[in-house]
Amino acid sequence: MKILLIIPAYNEQENILNVCKTVEQSKVKVDYIVINDGSTDNTLKILEENNLEHINLVHNLGIGGAVQTGYKYALENDYDIAIQFDGDGQHDINYVETICEPIINGQADFCIGSRYIDNSTSKFKSTWIRRVGKDIISAMIKLFWKQKITDPTSGFRAANKKVIKIFANEYPTDYPEPESTVTLLKKGLKVTEKPVNMHERKAGKSFVNPWTSGLYMIKVSIAIIVDSIFRTNGGTSE
């Protein structure tokens, strides 16, 4: 079983070395690839000096484009499972096995690490406003697809080969988590969730503020509604 961690990093000079070290020292045997998304700080320097496996995007693409690069890399190098893993230290390496389990057993094609599936696993639950946003997205997915996704914005997710192939081909650009999940449901793939623990980001600033969150909700809503109403596949012919 070849497993790859896709670690997108944008201006993560304080966190990236620690994140990679914890991955390297963990008991689970996984490869990782950091996708440096045109950072303007010393992220690239740290990656090179410490010989951390990385791809340096020649221009900033945003989170979606960066993560998709990871899926393309996973496809090219024939990985069995690809896991998105944040470069800011939010995700816990000890739960990699947890979210891989349904995929290895063949119970699911895609497994989301959820903070909300039970109330005990994760102490960190994010701010109330983000939880409201998450609940709205959850309700929309439930309405259209009859499946409860408790943590649709979680960026800690494991994908099998089928999903890797799909994501390498089409992946939304801006804030891609919920929309890409809908893409999979639309294709009739099995999506499941497992409880995981998440930390608060260790250092640096998150990009979220009220204005971008509002815009985020609007964009995600439009994307989910369009994806769900037009159930035939759109034409992204390139």
Partner 1 sequence: MNLTLKIALIIISLIYIFLILKAIRRKKINVTYSIFWIITGIALIICTIVPNLIEYISKKLGFETPSNMLFVITIFIAFYLIFNLTVILSRENRKNTLLVQEVSLLKKQVKHLEEKIDGAK
Contact residues for partner 1, defined by CB under 8 A:
54-59, 61, 65, 68-69, 72-73, 76, 173, 236, 238
DSSP H stretches of helix in 80-203: 96-104, 128-145, 161-169, 177-186
Q: For the CB of residue 80, give the shortest distance to partner 1 in the complex, in Å.
A: 19
Q: Answer whether 39's CB lies under 8 Å from 9's CB.
A: yes
Q: For the CB of residue 61, give the shortest distance to partner 1 in the complex, in Å.
A: 6
Q: For the CB of residue 102, give the shortest distance to partner 1 in the complex, in Å.
A: 29
Nearest of 121, 130, 120 to residue 153 by alpha carbon: 130
| Strands 110-114 and 157-159, sheet pairing | antiparallel
| Residue whose CB is less far from partner 1, 62 or 204 | 62
| Residue whose CB is less far from partner 1, 77 or 119 | 77
Q: For the CB of residue 40, give the shortest distance to partner 1 in the complex, in Å.
A: 16
| Residue whose CB is less far from partner 1, 54 or 157 | 54
Question: One-letter amino acid identity for 130?
Answer: R
| Residue whose CB is less far from partner 1, 105 or 237 | 237
Q: What is the token pair recorded at 231?
A: 């159930």
Q: What is the token pair recorded at 34?
A: 């950091």
For the range 44-52, what are the long-range contacts, defined as Cβ-Cβ under 8 Å and sequence gap of 24 or more? Answer: 46/13, 46/16, 46/17, 47/16, 50/17, 50/20, 52/16, 52/17, 52/20
Q: For the CB of residue 197, give the shortest distance to partner 1 in the complex, in Å.
A: 32
| Residue whose CB is less far from partner 1, 73 or 85 | 73
Q: For the CB of residue 151, give the shortest distance to partner 1 in the complex, in Å.
A: 27
| Residue whose CB is less far from partner 1, 53 or 80 | 53
CB burial readout 192-228, b (16+ within 10 A) else e: bbbbbbbeebeebeeeeeeeebeebbebbeebbeebb
